[in-house]
Structure 1
Amino acid sequence: MAVHRLAVLIFLTFFVGLAWSLPRFLHGRPRGGMLGAPRRRSGGSLPPDQWLEQKLDHFNDADLRTWQQRYFVNDTFFKPGGPVFLMIGGEGTANPIWMVEGTWVVMAERLGALCLMLEHRFYGKSHPTPDISVESLSFLNSEQALADLAYFRQYMGMKMNVTYSKWISFGGSYPGSLSAWFRLKYPHLVDGAVATSGPLLAQLDFTGYVSVVRDSLATSPQGDMCNTNIMQATTQVEQLLQHRVGWADLTKMFQVCKPLNGSNPNDVSNFYEAIAGNFFGVVQYNKDNRAFEGAVGTDITIDTLCGIMGNTSIGVPLARYAAVNTLLLQTYGEKCLDVSYDDMITEMRQTSWESSASEGGRQWVYQTCTEFGFFQTSDGKDQPFGNGFPVSFSLQQCSDIYGKQFNKTTLTQGIARTNTNYGAKGIRATKVIFPNGSIDPWHYLGITKDVSETETAVYINGTAHCANMYPALPSDPPQLVQARDTIFKAVEAWIQ
């Protein structure tokens, strides 16, 4: 029988004007998901929502419950005998704009491909359960998502008479990993995989993220001085946190919503992570691909932030650090910086599909707390953001949001299972290509060197997260142009 699904139109309109306690950038995920939507460049209607009946638990034949999963179809370019391109949805709402824009659509037109996209369970409109309680979220993991893809592939193969066509999977960020893993686990169902910006290695303490942020900031015209100024600002923050007058100064300078309590270690860690996160988000989506998204903040780059940090007319490094925060607040229309840990946890505990947490934050953090880790912490050495948000802070969030059973021991076991199941950076599949950008912090967990003759890396110097997936622009650097051509030639060879 079908699991009850709440009215999705209410869900779609719920977030307009909503006040958020969740960070803008949480565990590497911006609101809306890690893959942005490309700017719509032409008119016309988008493909409508379509639905298929999907099993709730693919690994328990005694569980007969089903639910409705959303997908999209674009057959505009399809020629009889042509390939099938499958875009894998991820940790956010599947956006039908991807059905008419992006590099894969250009490839589909050139190769006469049918384009399909499947939304990931528990994200967007694809609601397998009546709520997102911990009990319900037990059905949210990468293995169930891959099984969804396998069933969808067989279902669409029969429905559209493309069972024996060549199938190529595409994905960016977490779906980039899913794309590679789909080829690994179901090689009889997919003939090749493009795994863009996919973190293949699950890791508890992802200190490499901040290291890449540091190195990427140093590529600005200010060079290493950008990091030096951030480090000096961080030292000044640490000094002000030592006394109540300093708490008030920081509250005013950084426009904190509630008076900052320097004696509350959780609020302090949230504060450190939030002001560092201003830089994390910009680095992750720097320049070439952010310019395609059509989203707020696309004109803010590494050069923008480092330019502020190097502007002595603003004042001491701390004042510049605060100016960066002000710019991001204004850009995203936020009245103040909410660093209340209790407010964040209260919001993340909400289990209704109509809650703000159901936008994807609660679901993604659950996945990080059970199978991936990916905690971007301050535990690494030689980085400018201090040590205010250690891995213990992320682990505490797991326990405080989902229950005490979600702790370091259980997550360590989950991470080991993930890496054993898929092979991490030692993945052994064939016909998989791994594009990654040097600016993107996620490349640290991805594959940047060829694994074998049929598992190849495309390491794109100077580009950020999923840059190769977005529509081309005349201003694209030559290495990005070359990367797209390399990917196209690989796909073209796979479908022969």
Structure 2
Amino acid sequence: MAFQTFSLFPCKVILLVVVSLLVVAEGQYKGFGKFYQVQDSSHRAVFEELWVTQKLDHFNGADSREWKQRYFVNEAFYRPGGPVFLMIGGEGPANSAWMLDGTWLTYAEKMGALCLMLEHRFYGKSHPTADLSTDNLRYLSSRQALADLAHFRTVVGEARGLANRKWVAFGGSYPGSLAAWFRLKYPHLVHASVATSAPVHATVNFPEYLEVVRRSLASENAECPLLVKKASDTLVERLKDPKTYDNITKDFNLCSKLQIQSEMDSAYLLETLAGNFMDVVQYNEDNRAFEGVPGTNITIKVLCSIMGDTSLGEPYARYAAVARLMMHTFFMNCLDASFSTNLRDMTNTSWEGSAAGGGRQWVYQTCTEFGFYQSTDSPDQPFTGFPLEYQVKQCADYYNISAEQVAEAVAQTNEYYGGYDIRSTRIVFPNGSIDPWHALGITQDIAADLPAVFIKGTAHCANMYPARSEDLPQLALARDHVFLLLQQWLKQ
């Protein structure tokens, strides 16, 4: 499914990365979790894996089961009496590259803050249960994750003499939502939050995502989304004729001969190929290289230049060229676009399974809390073939969760957190106009102490990354604005 892995890495600290079930591949080829211990030539700091004891179920006093949750500490900038900054992990392994660099560390150095990062339960090395069976995944939720944060803040605060310090939560994408909700639900424990690119409104159907993709492509070249649509429509037509399957297999360098036995097969292929564009748009121009993430030089401009290159042939051929470029960039020998393979991987409940890096867990959270399904149900976007019905059916295939249950769970999430109508204080919501997730975030001030920072021309979590000389002026100003807000709030 092409949901952004909110954390599947960069912004995840965080992140919502587009995991077109490349979600499975993402954990393998994008380098998640390669920074469990990091040594930097300037700081000469090695970040040790530390562990805190958590309850399996924070909301059942009769359940005494416990487990160990991983976290990291950076004390390089701490000055006695300074604040505590807490980076929240999301739907993937906690990447301690963020303990070495990033805007929050620039703030920490200026403010004398102690920096902590807590890995999300069920991701990375934080394994609360023996496996990822659907029965065990019922302990995976944002509410349990917030309770983990609350207990962590209490225990570590007492152990390190930081109980009376002012704590600030940071997160990007899904962890950005957690940062906002941590302040909302535990205001006595966290003084302020920076909720970057945070989709705070849950929704089953999220066709607006692809609408933003269209607008972002059009901002580079008005013809670009039209060419993408022609290519996508051509592929849809060819999928109706089995005689074309061998050519499609070759054109897109599929790992196995294309077989279309159900609508799920064709939808999965179409979504996977659309994911190339979705991922690039979401992270356009973002500075992810410091995390060891390849391919950050592939931008909207690059994609649109390929789609506009008539020497490559018709739009369909150019669409295939984009797919091959992405495979080459991410060191993929071929594209596994088989839904049956995906189903096998996603229903493997072992911690050693190929989807255990975050795919099985995150999709479960979408089915039981958020939805976020980036369907092609809107006419105002360039792709075809993966409607909401296809997205939701995966919840039944993977976890035996019905469409009705998904809808009910999403409604409960908005009831619990408030959706767009958050009522709290001292939360700032940075979002980028290029990032499709801004459609579910806060892009206008709710109140003076619930401000939005809407950054024109930037993508997902852009303000979290280390500053570069090529950054847009408005991005630099946004980082400064957030810093000034934190300065102001920490005096309150």
TM above 0.5, yes or no, is yes
For the residues of structure 2 that align with 1:480 and 1:472, how far apart are their CA atoms?
9
Residues 362-401 of structure 1: matches in 2 within 5 Å? 362-386=360-384, 388-401=385-398
Find the residue that maps to 1:358 and give its secondary structure: coil
**Cα distance, 1:208 vs structure 2:** 0.7
Residue 47 of structure 1 pairs with residue 47 of structure 2: yes
**Cα distance, 1:263 vs structure 2:** 4.6
**Cα distance, 1:408 vs structure 2:** 1.0
For the residues of structure 2 that align with 1:320 and 1:480, how far apart are their CA atoms?
32
Gaps of at least 5 residues in structure 2 are 1-18
For the residues of structure 2 that align with 1:69 and 1:240, how far apart are their CA atoms?
49
- 1:65 corresponds to: 65
Question: Once the two structures are superposed, what CA deviation does each residue of 1:363-406 show, in whole Å capped at 9, x if it has no partner?
Answer: 000000110001111111121112x1011111111111112xx0
For the residues of structure 2 that align with 1:411 and 1:444, how far apart are their CA atoms?
20
Equivalent residue letter for 1:374: F
- 2:215 corresponds to: 215
**Cα distance, 1:34 vs structure 2:** 9.9
For the residues of structure 1 that align with 2:218 and 2:25, how far apart are their CA atoms?
23
Equivalent residue letter for 2:395: C
Find 1:407's aligned residue among 381, 402, 409. 402
Residues 214-363 of structure 1: matches in 2 within 5 Å? 214-220=214-220, 223-363=221-361
Residue 86 of structure 1 pairs with residue 86 of structure 2: yes
For the residues of structure 2 that align with 1:30 and 1:445, how far apart are their CA atoms?
28
- 2:4 corresponds to: none
Residues 134-145 of structure 1: matches in 2 within 5 Å? 134-145=134-145
Contact 1:82 1:112 in 2 (8 A): yes
**Cα distance, 1:100 vs structure 2:** 1.8
- 2:430 corresponds to: 435
Find the residue that maps to 1:248 and give its secondary structure: helix
- 1:146 corresponds to: 146
Find the residue that maps to 2:466 and give its secondary structure: coil
- 2:9 corresponds to: none
- 1:454 corresponds to: 449
Query: In 2 relative to 1, CA 101–276 (structure 1 residues): closer, same or farther, beyond 3 Å?
Result: same
For the residues of structure 2 that align with 1:41 and 1:424, how far apart are their CA atoms?
43
- 1:113 corresponds to: 113
Gaps of at least 5 residues in structure 1 are 1-20
Report the number of matched residues.
471
For the residues of structure 2 that align with 1:450 and 1:335, how far apart are their CA atoms?
47
**Cα distance, 1:117 vs structure 2:** 0.8
Find the residue that maps to 2:85 and give its secondary structure: strand
- 2:176 corresponds to: 176
Equivalent residue letter for 1:321: Y
**Cα distance, 1:235 vs structure 2:** 2.1
Query: In 2 relative to 1, CA 47–202 (structure 1 residues): closer, same or farther, beyond 3 Å?
Result: same
**Cα distance, 1:292 vs structure 2:** 4.7
TM-score, length basis structure 1: 0.91
For the residues of structure 2 that align with 1:325 and 1:155, how far apart are their CA atoms?
48
Find the residue that maps to 1:134 and give its secondary structure: coil
**Cα distance, 1:31 vs structure 2:** 7.1
Residue 122 of structure 1 pairs with residue 122 of structure 2: yes
**Cα distance, 1:26 vs structure 2:** 7.2
Equivalent residue letter for 1:143: R
Residue 474 of structure 1 pairs with residue 458 of structure 2: no
Equivalent residue letter for 2:356: S
- 1:206 corresponds to: 206
Query: In 2 relative to 1, CA 264–326 (structure 1 residues): closer, same or farther, beyond 3 Å?
Result: same
Equivalent residue letter for 2:462: A
**Cα distance, 1:290 vs structure 2:** 3.7
For the residues of structure 1 that align with 2:459 and 2:336, how far apart are their CA atoms?
27
Contact 1:28 1:376 in 2 (8 A): no
Find the residue that maps to 1:383 and give its secondary structure: coil
Equivalent residue letter for 2:134: V
- 1:494 corresponds to: 489
**Cα distance, 1:219 vs structure 2:** 1.6
Query: In 2 relative to 1, CA 207–42 (structure 1 residues): closer, same or farther, beyond 3 Å?
Result: farther
Contact 1:289 1:466 in 2 (8 A): no
For the residues of structure 2 that align with 1:247 and 1:93, how far apart are their CA atoms?
37
Judge which range, 262-271 or 41-50, deviates more.
41-50
Residue 463 of structure 1 pairs with residue 461 of structure 2: no
Residue 77 of structure 1 pairs with residue 77 of structure 2: yes
Counting aligned pairs with the same residue, the percent is: 52
For the residues of structure 2 that align with 1:428 and 1:339, how far apart are their CA atoms?
43
Contact 2:251 2:320 in 1 (8 A): yes
**Cα distance, 1:249 vs structure 2:** 1.7
**Cα distance, 1:283 vs structure 2:** 0.7
For the residues of structure 1 that align with 2:286 and 2:229, how far apart are their CA atoms?
27
TM-score, length basis structure 2: 0.92
For the residues of structure 2 that align with 1:412 and 1:430, how far apart are their CA atoms?
29
For the residues of structure 1 that align with 2:31 and 2:202, how far apart are their CA atoms?
18
Find the residue that maps to 1:435 and give its secondary structure: strand
Query: In 2 relative to 1, CA 378–310 (structure 1 residues): closer, same or farther, beyond 3 Å?
Result: same
For the residues of structure 2 that align with 1:283 and 1:474, how far apart are their CA atoms?
21
For the residues of structure 1 that align with 2:39 and 2:327, how far apart are their CA atoms?
23
Judge which range, 418-427 or 376-385, deviates more.
376-385
Contact 1:168 1:192 in 2 (8 A): yes
Question: Once the two structures are superposed, what CA deviation does each residue of 1:99-128 show, in whole Å capped at 9, x if it has no partner?
Answer: 121000010010000111111000011000
- 1:96 corresponds to: 96
- 2:16 corresponds to: none
For the residues of structure 1 that align with 2:70 and 2:236, how far apart are their CA atoms?
48
Judge which range, 254-263 or 390-399, deviates more.
254-263
Find the residue that maps to 1:71 and give its secondary structure: strand
**Cα distance, 1:452 vs structure 2:** 0.6
Judge which range, 146-155 or 36-45, deviates more.
36-45
Contact 2:343 2:397 in 1 (8 A): yes
**Cα distance, 1:336 vs structure 2:** 1.5
For the residues of structure 1 that align with 2:462 and 2:39, how far apart are their CA atoms?
13
**Cα distance, 1:97 vs structure 2:** 1.6
For the residues of structure 2 that align with 1:210 and 1:77, how far apart are their CA atoms?
41
**Cα distance, 1:493 vs structure 2:** 1.0
- 1:13 corresponds to: none
For the residues of structure 1 that align with 2:431 and 2:52, how far apart are their CA atoms?
33
Query: In 2 relative to 1, CA 466–135 (structure 1 residues): closer, same or farther, beyond 3 Å?
Result: same
Equivalent residue letter for 1:273: E
Equivalent residue letter for 1:421: Y
